[in-house]
């Protein structure tokens, strides 16, 4: 306990915004690795090196932290990807941009991604589920719009747009189950490789 108190005192100088970001980052890691039920406010406080009273100063309970992470991650994924689509590029290159930006978001905010993915299917709170679905639909419809634009530009053959969108998203969404940041390619590089495989195929031409 003494060591935790020393850490808490040393950590106090962070301003409010930095402290909240630290709490959300550490909480996301704990929720992703030990689950919601396996994470307590004490665990979060200790991970942040702060007192429980300071933690409660920023958040009223664990559920508020969890909601902030899981709802925010779904919304911010859409905005992050949208902001990084290359303006004026061919539709096919905008699909590449969508995939690479998704990989970049995953790499930067991996723990929030994992916690949000778990909550997406398991959170019993209907209001939060509806809001997640709204932002998830915007993200998915953004990709579908890019695929449709590529078809109309003659860069892709006519195909089932929703099915193609699900194929691309499935390749990206399952990275968290096997990705090891210390091994091999980065997540954006993997997304770019997926783009090449999906758009250009696996079979040798001719």
Question: Domain residues of the chain, as ranges?
Answer: 2-60, 68-200
- Global pTM reads 0.80
Contacts of 78 (CB under 8 A, 6+ apart): 135, 138, 139, 142
Q: In the structure, what pLDDT confidence band is assigned to residue 32 with cuts at 50, 70 and 90?
A: confident
Among candidate residues 138, 35, 23, the one with its CA nearest the CA of residue 80: 138
Contacts of 141 (CB under 8 A, 6+ apart): none
Handedness of CA 96, 100, 103, 109 (dihedral sign): negative
Which whole number is the average pLDDT over 113-134?
Answer: 74
In the predicted structure, residue 141 carries a pLDDT above the cut 80:
yes
Which whole number is the average pLDDT over 183-199?
Answer: 93
Q: In the structure, what pLDDT confidence band is assigned to residue 9 with cuts at 50, 70 and 90?
A: very low
Q: In the structure, what pLDDT confidence band is assigned to residue 122 with cuts at 50, 70 and 90?
A: low
In the predicted structure, residue 10 carries a pLDDT above the cut 60:
no
CB 86 within 8 A of CB 94: yes
**Cα distance from N-terminal residue to C-terminal residue, the chain:** 69
For the chain, what is the mean pLDDT? 86
Q: In the structure, what pLDDT confidence band is assigned to residue 120 with cuts at 50, 70 and 90?
A: low
Q: Which of 37-46, 72-81, 89-98, 134-143 has the lowest mean pLDDT?
A: 72-81
199 exposure class (CB count in 10 Å sphere: 0-12, 13-18, 19+): middle
CB 44 within 8 A of CB 30: yes
From the candidate CATH numbers 1.10.240.10, 1.10.10.60, 3.40.50.720, 3.30.110.40, the one assigned to the domain spanning 2-60: 1.10.10.60
Helix crossing, 2-11 with 41-48: angle to 10°? 60
CB 165 within 8 A of CB 144: yes
Q: What pLDDT, on a 0 to 100 scale, did the predictor assign at position 194?
A: 95
CB 70 within 8 A of CB 115: yes
Percent of the chain with pLDDT over 90: 53
Q: CATH class for domain 68-200?
A: mainly alpha
Return the higher-pLDDT residue of 124 and 107.
107
CA–CA distances in Å: residue 59 to residues 85, 102, 205: 34, 29, 57
Return the higher-pLDDT residue of 115 and 12.
115
Q: What pLDDT, on a 0 to 100 scale, did the predictor assign at position 177?
A: 81
């Amino acid at each position: 306990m003494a060591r935790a108190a020393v850490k808490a005192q040393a950590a106090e100088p962070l301003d409010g915004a930095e402290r909240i970001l630290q709490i959300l980052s550490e909480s996301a890691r704990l929720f992703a690795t030990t689950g919601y039920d396996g994470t307590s406010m004490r665990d979060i406080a200790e991970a942040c090196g702060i007192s429980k009273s300071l933690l409660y100063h920023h958040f009223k309970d664990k559920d508020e932290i969890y909601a902030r992470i899981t709802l925010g991650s779904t919304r911010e994924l859409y905005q992050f990807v949208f902001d990084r689509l290359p303006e004026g590029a061919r539709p096919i290159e905008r699909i590449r941009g969508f995939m690479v930006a998704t990989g970049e978001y995953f790499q930067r905010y991996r723990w929030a991604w994992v916690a949000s993915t778990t909550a997406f299917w398991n959170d019993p709170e209907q209001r939060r589920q509806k809001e997640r679905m709204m932002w998830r639909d915007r993200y998915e419809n953004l990709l579908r719009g890019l695929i449709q634009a590529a078809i109309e530009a003659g860069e892709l053959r006519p195909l089932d747009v929703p099915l193609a969108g699900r194929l691309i998203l499935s390749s990206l969404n399952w990275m968290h189950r096997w990705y090891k940041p210390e091994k091999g390619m980065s997540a954006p590089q993997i997304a770019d490789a997926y783009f090449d495989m999906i758009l250009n195929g696996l079979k040798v031409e001719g």
